[in-house]
Chain A
Amino acid sequence: MSTTAATVHHTPHAGEIERYTFTERIMHWFTGGTYLYCLATGLAFYSPHLFWLAYMLGGAPSSRFWHPIVAIVFVIGTLWMHSMWGRDMEMTDVDKQWLDRTEAYITNDEEHTPLSDRFNGGQKLYYWLMVYGALLLLLSGVFLWFPEYIPRQYAWVRGVMILTHEVAALATIGGFIIHVYMSVFMVPYSMTAITTGYVTRAWAWTHHRLWYLRVTGQK
């Protein structure tokens, strides 16, 4: 019995702190996976030099068929994410200080990097970029999905929506590149956190001290 419970609930090892619940991790990879599919198929439609991505994913007509449907699932995932993280992601004065000193964070100048709570200012910025980006992509994407229903006198709307869709997509891609780089390379053990759900106390103390103090009952 105890073995089963340990497997299901993954009792933390000594000195570890739970960073993401099981549901949060499922949600993260759900939105991440659907975003990746839309990114790859979208890039295929973006440039002839990346059209091979569509061949890799089952052919361009299939990519065109599934891109908007998977995108709807991605937006649902984003709303799910918002219901979980929306409150944690609100910008506070601490985050504004952090954002003012982004350069210190980027150059690994820990001494001048303001402390952060569960999420730092940069993570929150990325979060809101993705939430608003997803909504903008959905809004413009609907017009790209069914352009034949736009009456001729509003034909210019098609062009506006394609530009909006592309600019919004490029903005999220910019954030996404940084997000992947930071989690895989720049901040070791972030991937452990978002896969197993746990971080060491030292990791929490280093990267999210205000959160660390809060969850360890020291503040």
Chain B
Amino acid sequence: MANGPLQIKAISGHAGTVPGKNTSRDYDVCKLIDVTTCIGCKACEVACLEWNGYPFRETVFDNTYQTMPDLAWNYYNLIRFNEVTDDEGNFSWLMRKDQCMHCADPGCLRACPADGAIVQYTNGIVDFQQDNCIGCQYCVTGCPFNIPKFNPTTKKVHKCTLCSDRVGAGLEPACIKACPTGCLHFGTKDDMKDLAETRAAQLREHTSHKDAGVYDPQGVGGTHVMYVLHDINHPERYGGLPKDPHVPWMVRIWKGPLKWVGSLAMAAGVVGVAAHYLRFGPKEVEPEPAPKGGQK
């Protein structure tokens, strides 16, 4: 990056990994979330709100640390707290930063009917352009992660932009910047994959998390947000992370075969009736016979 920003290489008195170390911020960007070192501080949530200029939302209390039940149109990023007892009776408290996964095969983009309302950049970021959004919410149907959220006042749909405005200027996303534990990383997809696999291997070898692994679901072509999970076999324990996400097959049929079959059928209908007219012509009115009792 020719005139890129200052990138930290080393930090004094810092025990953890250095965010962004040895990474180049070129194409195919990726956010890596190491849930094993997330402490649920919600600094990323605050940073997200601050950068995007949204006010903090009112919270709910449901006897857990969950501050609000779901993402919202002006809340792109939410830590999900999950108290889980596994098959062997071990209790664990799982936290996951939930936001748009920036799929390589985005269901939202496939489903969207509005010209230019959703774009996918070459670096992998999937971005909503609210100016072109018509508020139909087909993207809500297309998304396997239940991410896009509707603003009922403006009738526009919003979601995490992966800070496309910051990344475009050579900066890392705001959430990355705010993370105090270094559980959030940002860089190229290849670098993040490498870092994630290294971390997962470390967990498998040095901790009791023998099933630790990297969540980069191939059903949606891989994602530009990846997770390191304690147990890759049970992603659903992290508050609704699907095990094998893919663009819903009903959306594929709708946007695939049904589209061209329907278009072809409509065109054939119009051509068919025109051909009928040329071949058979109109139905002529025949004169009625003199009615028996009527007057004419």
Contact = CB atoms under 8 A, between A and B. Distances in A.
A142 B94 CA distance: 37
Contacts of B248: 155-156, 158-159
A177 B113 contact: no
B155 A47 contact: no
Contact of B291 (A61, A148, A188, A218): A218
B98 to A, nearest CB: 12
Which applies to chain A's interface (DSSP): helix, strand, loop or mixed? helix
Interface string A122-159: 00000000000000000000001001100010011011
A97 interface: no
A204 to B, nearest CB: 8
Interface in B234-287: 240, 248-251, 253-254, 258-259, 262-263, 265-266, 269-270, 273, 276-277, 280-287
Interface stretch (B2-10, B83-91, B134-142, B197-205): B134-142
Given A147-B140, A162-B250, A217-B293, A188 B283 contact: yes
B141 A159 contact: yes
B155 A155 contact: no
Contacts of A207: 283, 285
Which of B138, B262, B284 gathers most chain A CB within 10 Å?
Answer: B262
Interface string B94-121: 0000000000000000000111000000
A178 B258 CA distance: 21
Contacts of A181: 273, 276-277
A166 B254 contact: yes
Q: Which of B146, B254, B277 has most chain A Cβ within 10 Å?
A: B254
Contact of A64 (B135, B281, B282): B135
B266 A186 contact: no
B235 to A, nearest CB: 15
Contact of A166 (B155, B262, B286): B262
Interface residues of B, number: 48
Contacts of A30: none
A129 B136 CA distance: 26
> Chain A, interface size: which category?
35 or more
A107 B283 CA distance: 10
Nearest to A152: B146
A205 interface: yes
B209 to A, nearest CB: 27
Given A64-B155, A173-B269, A218-B294, A156 B288 contact: no
A108 interface: yes
Given A108-B281, A186-B282, A159 B135 contact: no
Contacts of B25: none
B292 interface: yes
Q: Is the interface of B mostly helix, strand, loop or mixed?
A: loop
Contacts of B282: 185-188
Contact of B134 (A61, A147, A203): A61
Contact of A163 (B258, B269, B270): B258
Given A45-B113, A152-B146, A205 B250 contact: no
B42 interface: no
A134 to B, nearest CB: 19
Contacts of B287: 202
30 contacts: A45-B138, A48-B113, A54-B134, A60-B114, A61-B133, A64-B134, A64-B136, A106-B276, A108-B281, A110-B283, A148-B149, A152-B146, A155-B141, A155-B248, A162-B138, A166-B254, A170-B262, A170-B265, A174-B266, A181-B273, A181-B276, A186-B277, A186-B282, A187-B282, A188-B285, A203-B285, A207-B283, A217-B294, A218-B291, A218-B294
Interface of A: 15, 44-48, 51, 54, 60-61, 63-65, 106-108, 110, 144, 147-148, 152, 155-156, 158-160, 162-163, 166-167, 170, 173-174, 177-178, 181, 185-189, 200-207, 212, 216-218
Interface of B: 113-115, 133-138, 140-141, 146, 149-150, 155, 240, 248-251, 253-254, 258-259, 262-263, 265-266, 269-270, 273, 276-277, 280-289, 291-294, 296
